[in-house]
Amino acid sequence: MAVKGNSAAVKQLRDRLIDGFHEHISKKEVLDLLKGLGVDDDKLLNMFDVFKSLVYGLDGKSLAQLIAPETSTARLALMLYALVNGDEKLAKAHALIGTVRATGSKLLGRLYLEAYEACCDLKSEGFRLAIARLFFYQI
Protein backbone atom coordinates (compact mmCIF):
# COMPACT_ATOMS: atom_id res chain seq x y z
CA MET A 1 0.00 0.00 0.00
CA ALA A 2 2.86 2.39 0.81
CA VAL A 3 4.41 1.79 -2.62
CA LYS A 4 1.09 2.76 -4.22
CA GLY A 5 1.09 6.03 -2.27
CA ASN A 6 -1.43 5.28 0.48
CA SER A 7 -0.62 8.06 2.97
CA ALA A 8 -1.66 6.06 6.03
CA ALA A 9 0.55 3.14 4.97
CA VAL A 10 3.46 5.51 4.24
CA LYS A 11 3.12 7.09 7.69
CA GLN A 12 2.94 3.69 9.36
CA LEU A 13 6.00 2.44 7.46
CA ARG A 14 7.96 5.60 8.33
CA ASP A 15 7.09 5.23 11.99
CA ARG A 16 8.09 1.56 12.00
CA LEU A 17 11.39 2.30 10.27
CA ILE A 18 12.26 5.06 12.74
CA ASP A 19 11.18 3.04 15.77
CA GLY A 20 13.03 -0.03 14.46
CA PHE A 21 16.21 1.95 13.84
CA HIS A 22 16.04 3.45 17.33
CA GLU A 23 15.36 0.05 18.89
CA HIS A 24 18.21 -1.54 16.94
CA ILE A 25 20.81 1.09 17.87
CA SER A 26 19.76 0.74 21.51
CA LYS A 27 20.84 -2.91 21.64
CA LYS A 28 24.04 -3.54 23.59
CA GLU A 29 25.83 -5.43 20.82
CA VAL A 30 25.06 -2.66 18.30
CA LEU A 31 26.17 0.04 20.73
CA ASP A 32 29.38 -1.90 21.40
CA LEU A 33 30.04 -2.26 17.66
CA LEU A 34 29.39 1.43 17.00
CA LYS A 35 31.56 2.52 19.93
CA GLY A 36 34.28 0.22 18.58
CA LEU A 37 34.02 2.09 15.29
CA GLY A 38 34.55 5.41 17.07
CA VAL A 39 30.93 6.49 17.23
CA ASP A 40 30.40 8.45 20.44
CA ASP A 41 27.04 9.35 21.98
CA ASP A 42 26.79 12.67 20.15
CA LYS A 43 27.54 11.08 16.81
CA LEU A 44 25.02 8.32 17.54
CA LEU A 45 22.32 10.88 18.27
CA ASN A 46 23.26 12.69 15.08
CA MET A 47 22.98 9.44 13.11
CA PHE A 48 19.50 8.87 14.50
CA ASP A 49 18.44 12.43 13.68
CA VAL A 50 19.85 12.12 10.16
CA PHE A 51 18.07 8.80 9.64
CA LYS A 52 14.81 10.26 10.87
CA SER A 53 15.07 13.26 8.53
CA LEU A 54 16.03 11.02 5.60
CA VAL A 55 13.05 8.74 6.19
CA TYR A 56 10.69 11.72 6.29
CA GLY A 57 12.07 12.79 2.91
CA LEU A 58 11.35 9.47 1.20
CA ASP A 59 8.23 8.30 -0.61
CA GLY A 60 6.50 4.96 -0.07
CA LYS A 61 8.45 3.17 -2.80
CA SER A 62 11.78 4.24 -1.32
CA LEU A 63 10.66 3.31 2.20
CA ALA A 64 9.78 -0.17 0.95
CA GLN A 65 13.29 -0.46 -0.52
CA LEU A 66 14.75 0.24 2.91
CA ILE A 67 13.02 -2.75 4.47
CA ALA A 68 13.51 -5.13 1.52
CA PRO A 69 17.15 -6.25 1.82
CA GLU A 70 17.86 -9.24 4.00
CA THR A 71 21.58 -9.34 3.23
CA SER A 72 24.32 -6.74 3.09
CA THR A 73 24.85 -7.60 -0.59
CA ALA A 74 21.21 -6.79 -1.37
CA ARG A 75 21.47 -3.58 0.65
CA LEU A 76 24.57 -2.54 -1.32
CA ALA A 77 22.80 -3.33 -4.60
CA LEU A 78 19.83 -1.14 -3.63
CA MET A 79 22.19 1.58 -2.42
CA LEU A 80 23.96 1.57 -5.80
CA TYR A 81 20.61 1.54 -7.60
CA ALA A 82 19.55 4.60 -5.60
CA LEU A 83 22.79 6.37 -6.51
CA VAL A 84 22.40 5.55 -10.21
CA ASN A 85 18.91 7.07 -10.04
CA GLY A 86 20.14 10.18 -8.24
CA ASP A 87 18.39 9.40 -4.94
CA GLU A 88 21.07 10.42 -2.46
CA LYS A 89 18.67 10.37 0.52
CA LEU A 90 17.81 6.73 -0.08
CA ALA A 91 21.46 5.79 -0.63
CA LYS A 92 22.48 7.50 2.60
CA ALA A 93 19.65 5.80 4.50
CA HIS A 94 20.83 2.41 3.18
CA ALA A 95 24.37 3.21 4.33
CA LEU A 96 23.10 4.12 7.81
CA ILE A 97 21.03 0.97 8.12
CA GLY A 98 23.96 -1.07 6.79
CA THR A 99 26.17 0.42 9.50
CA VAL A 100 23.90 -0.53 12.38
CA ARG A 101 22.81 -3.90 10.95
CA ALA A 102 26.39 -5.17 10.56
CA THR A 103 26.50 -6.52 14.11
CA GLY A 104 28.22 -9.74 13.01
CA SER A 105 31.12 -7.99 11.32
CA LYS A 106 33.04 -5.00 12.59
CA LEU A 107 34.67 -4.64 9.16
CA LEU A 108 31.33 -4.49 7.35
CA GLY A 109 30.07 -1.94 9.86
CA ARG A 110 33.17 0.18 9.30
CA LEU A 111 32.75 -0.02 5.51
CA TYR A 112 29.12 1.09 5.65
CA LEU A 113 30.05 3.83 8.12
CA GLU A 114 32.72 5.11 5.71
CA ALA A 115 30.18 5.11 2.89
CA TYR A 116 27.66 6.96 5.08
CA GLU A 117 30.19 9.59 6.16
CA ALA A 118 31.43 10.20 2.60
CA CYS A 119 28.01 9.91 0.96
CA CYS A 120 27.04 10.77 -1.74
CA ASP A 121 29.31 12.80 -4.03
CA LEU A 122 30.16 10.47 -6.89
CA LYS A 123 33.06 12.75 -7.86
CA SER A 124 34.61 12.37 -4.40
CA GLU A 125 37.54 9.97 -4.32
CA GLY A 126 36.72 9.09 -0.70
CA PHE A 127 33.16 8.10 -1.53
CA ARG A 128 34.17 6.09 -4.58
CA LEU A 129 36.76 4.22 -2.48
CA ALA A 130 34.19 3.54 0.24
CA ILE A 131 31.77 2.08 -2.33
CA ALA A 132 34.55 0.04 -3.95
CA ARG A 133 35.57 -1.38 -0.57
CA LEU A 134 31.97 -2.33 0.18
CA PHE A 135 31.70 -3.98 -3.22
CA PHE A 136 34.92 -5.95 -2.82
CA TYR A 137 33.89 -7.04 0.66
CA GLN A 138 30.75 -8.59 -0.85
CA ILE A 139 32.60 -10.56 -3.52
**Averaged over 100-129, what is the pLDDT?**
90
Q: Please tell me the predicted confidence (pLDDT) of residue 37.
A: 87
pTM > 0.85? yes
**Averaged over 122-127, what is the pLDDT?**
91
Express each pLDDT in 76-97 by its tens digit: 999 999 999 999 999 999 999 9
Q: 17 falls in which pLDDT band (50, 70, 90)?
A: very high
Q: Please tell me the predicted confidence (pLDDT) of residue 105.
A: 84
Angstrom distance (rounded) from CA 63 to CA 97:
12
Burial 90-99 (b: 16+ CB within 10 A, else e): bbbbbbbbbb
**Averaged over 47-52, what is the pLDDT?**
94
| HEC assignment per residue over 23-91 | HHHCCHHHHHHHHHCCCCHHHHHHHHHHHHHHHHCCCHHHHHHHHCCCCHHHHHHHHHHHHHCCCHHHH
